[in-house]
Amino acid sequence: MELLLDTEAREFRDAVRSWVDSKYPKSRAREIEADKEYPYELWDDFADAGFHGIGIDEEYGGQGGDVVSQVLLGQGLARNLGGLVAVWGIPSFAGAKSVGAYGSTEQKQRFLPDLAKGKLRFAIAITEPGGGTDVLSAMRTRAQRAPGGWTITGQKVWSTGAHVADYLLVLAVSHPEEKPSRRCSLFLVPTANEGLTCRPIPKLGMRAVASNEVYFDDVFVPDELMLGEPGRGWGNIVATLNNERILTASFATGMIEGVLEGAVEYLQQRSAFGGPIGRFQALQHYVADIAAWLRQSELVTYYAALLQQQNRPCGTEATMAKMVTADYVTQAADLGIQILGGLGYSQETDMQRFWRDSRLFRIAPITNEMARNMIAESFGLPRSY
């Protein structure tokens, strides 16, 4: 990793690690996650640290920084926080990345300064019931013209953080007569608007950051809250989706690092059969595998981040990074539980938390099966779906 980072990036990485170890060691993260309530204090501490401004231009009150900076932050936070990193990550790509990438000057001036200060929370609402990865074909949410704006009707699912968000980034069919890629538009929908309701979904992991079903019953959105041009929503959202996959890969990589740290610490402390269990060859092999997965995950993730940072095509690489790291982190967390034995199954330790939180990454934001289809297609093979 040292070869990929300049001095400023290494200093930022080290500062993030120091901050999270001081403010949010794994023991505190475990307590927050067990409460199953949204951690407002964590959000506020991110704001005080300036993390919400990472990736937002300084002219809009941000800290500056690039995609690599976002990845460094994501990995550094997830190393201790696990799935709690979504408190920062989701508003980052749903709000800062999206508005910064294709918002108008007026929208950037309106939203980015408050996003950078942590005064606004955004969530993303794209997936629909029965749709999953088949976003365009399954799109049933409609945006119809109304005086001065649009009315949105439909339902979204798995909108993480929607229950505490100020705005939702919503994709809806606005031009049904056009071809699929030109039918949809993007909207910044205030969650306080009449007709919008959320219902949290009970789930296995990331329990303190609820995912929601969101219902739109003739929700009015003024023209100035359409993001980008009418009918260009799908093309615009691609930049956000690639960034989401890269950041997801950084979260998975950070969790692998957290698992490795916990495994090594336990193997050095626990004794059995007359000595430390770290001397057992089978357990040493587990550690070696986890360490190798960590290095591979870092390389594939930072490569995709560098491509996006340079405005080069990165769809395949972003998808590959998400796929590889998702597979590795679930294997690593499972081995972490095995290394700790019965203690690993206990909620008094972190391995079960990393295992529950990371299991989502093989499903979302795209299933690993569909990711493999897309990667194979990029090499000229026929579309399989």
- In tens digits, the chain (385 residues) has pLDDT values of 677 788 999 999 999 999 999 999 999 999 999 988 999 999 999 999 999 999 999 999 999 878 999 999 999 999 999 999 999 999 998 888 899 988 999 999 999 999 999 999 999 999 999 887 888 888 999 999 999 999 999 999 999 999 999 999 999 999 999 998 899 999 999 999 999 999 999 999 999 999 999 999 999 999 999 999 999 999 888 878 899 999 999 999 999 999 999 999 999 999 999 999 999 999 999 999 999 999 999 999 999 999 999 999 999 999 999 999 999 999 999 999 999 999 999 999 999 999 999 999 999 999 999 999 999 999 999 998 8
Amino acid at 310: Q
User: Do the Cβ atoms of 205 and 357 come closer than 8 Å?
Assistant: yes
Question: Distances in Å between the alpha carbon of 127 and those of 93, 106, 228?
Answer: 16, 28, 19
pLDDT at 137: 85
**Considering only CA atoms, which of 266, 260, 306 is closest in space to residue 287?**
260
**How far from chain centre, in Å, is Cα 26?**
19
pLDDT at 238: 80
Q: Helix H segments across 36-81?
A: 40-49, 67-81
pLDDT at 93: 84
Domains of the chain (ranges; CATH) run 2-121 (1.10.540.10), 123-230 (2.40.110.10), 235-377 (1.20.140.10)
User: Do the Cβ atoms of 139 and 129 come closer than 8 Å?
Assistant: no
Give the angle subtended at the CA of 132 by the CAs of 127 and 136, to the nearest 5°: 70
| β-bridge partners, 221 | 150
pTM: 0.96
Amino acid at 193: N
**How far from chain centre, in Å, is Cα 257?**
17
Q: Which residues contact 198 (CB under 8 A, 6 or more apart)?
A: 159, 162, 163, 191, 212, 213, 214, 215
pLDDT at 138: 86
